[in-house]
Amino acid sequence: MKTFRWPDGVRCAVLVSIHFDAESFDLKHTTEDRLYGRFSYGRYGVRAGLPRLLAMLQRRSIAATVFVNGDDAVRHRSAVREIHDAGHEIGGRGWDHTPLSSLGDTEEDALRRGRDVLSEICGVVPKGFRASGGELSSNTLHLLTQLGFQYDASFQDDDLPYLIAPRPGAVLAEIPGVWALDDSLALSARHTHARLMKIWREEFDALEREGCLVPLTIHLRGDVGLTRAARIAALEELLTHMGSRPGVRFMTGSQIAALTLASGLTPESDPIDAHRETLRVTPYRGELAVKPL
């Protein structure tokens, strides 16, 4: 079976993806009227963390992909527009952090509303999508193709991108991630940023040797994100190390998706197809002790 290959001159690609998650994340645990006093970490990411992160990416000449849900986008229109205007890609995350599998018949509306508010703010329809917590419903991939998305970045089942055909005549690029390269898990477990950077450097060195995708996931938040001053400094040092390797290229999600869609790979069927009968009679019980944002 044909597997994905990077273009000539590229040994591996680094995807710097950023989760905007501000008040929308805090609202998972409280209500709008009780939000006051609970939103400091999310607000920090927008007020102090985002300018610092954008400045660092500009110094390194790196274009990132920033996934934003509709709820945060309407609260922070100017920040989302600033990210877009700085040359970064804006990707969708639906409307808020409600699990897609719990939305039922309202899932399509949530995905569409999230897409449309980003389109209105940036003037560009988002091409990519990432589900909150990496949790999709059995219908999500099908809906993404209907809504015009070109790629999903929610799975963790490969070291290279591939193609999925959720329905006849519709193809979606899948850009898999890995939780070992997600800052929120290590920082929520109270690891230091120095320890996190050691883990990420080891992961990068191993993936680069094998010519794989290196999918970093960074959060703006002040609690489980990398935008505090010392953390940004450590991250910049790591990105400098990555960029110094021959054949390593920083790419956005849409750039990787374009390569994948033009790769000539045979699309796989929707992964749900092999499990529909089981899920019809047995509810999914795959809850995790520690989950990403």
Separation CA 227–CA 218 (nearest Å): 9
Q: Which CATH number fits domain 12-281: 3.40.50.720, 3.40.50.10190, 3.40.50.970, 3.20.20.370?
A: 3.20.20.370
- Residue ranges of the chain with pLDDT lower than 70? 1, 34-39, 282-292
Please report, for the chain, the start and end positions of each structural domain, with discontinuous segments joined by +.
12-281
Given this model, what pLDDT does residue 158 score?
96
Given this model, what pLDDT does residue 37 score?
66
- Give the pLDDT confidence of 175-215 residue by residue, as tens digits: 999 999 999 999 988 899 999 999 999 999 999 999 999 99
Separation CA 235–CA 249 (nearest Å): 17
Given this model, what pLDDT does residue 255 score?
98
| C-alpha distances in Å from residue 21, one per residue of 69, 87, 209 | 8, 20, 32
Separation CA 93–CA 129 (nearest Å): 6
Given this model, what pLDDT does residue 276 score?
77
